[in-house]
């Protein structure tokens, strides 16, 4: 995992020019204590998405499925998928 992460560059990420083309409602579920991608990254992504919304999970790092599984399931179940 560390090798893969070390090999990533800015070119491997989605920039505003790509994100602004995603026009469907998009919820970003983010851990408030994510050290790999801090909440400021999620905030920037949500601003770039025309219909983006950031949902921060308190007491959660990068792995919401392990840190806050119950809260993650609650958010996913609340999504309007119609």
pLDDT in tens, the chain (82 residues): 678 767 766 555 778 889 999 999 999 999 999 998 899 999 999 999 999 999 999 999 999 999 999 999 999 999 888 7
Q: Apex CA 28: angle with CA 71 and CA 21, to 5°?
A: 160
Taking the CB of residue 73, how many other CB atoms lie within 10 A of it? 12
68 φ/ψ angles, rounded to the nearest 5 degrees: -140, 60
* Residues sharing a CB contact under 8 Å with residue 37, sequence separation 6 or more, in sequence order: 30, 62
Q: What is the pLDDT of residue 14?
A: 79
pLDDT value, residue 50? 96
């Amino acid at each position: 995992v560390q090798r893969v992460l070390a090999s990533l560059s800015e070119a491997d990420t989605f920039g505003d020019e790509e994100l602004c083309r995603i026009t469907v409602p998009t919820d970003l579920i983010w851990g408030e204590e994510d050290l790999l991608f801090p909440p400021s990254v999620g905030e920037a992504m949500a601003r770039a998405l025309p219909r983006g919304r950031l949902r921060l999970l308190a007491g959660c790092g990068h792995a919401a499925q392990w840190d806050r599984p119950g809260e993650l399931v609650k958010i996913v179940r609340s999504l309007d998928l119609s």
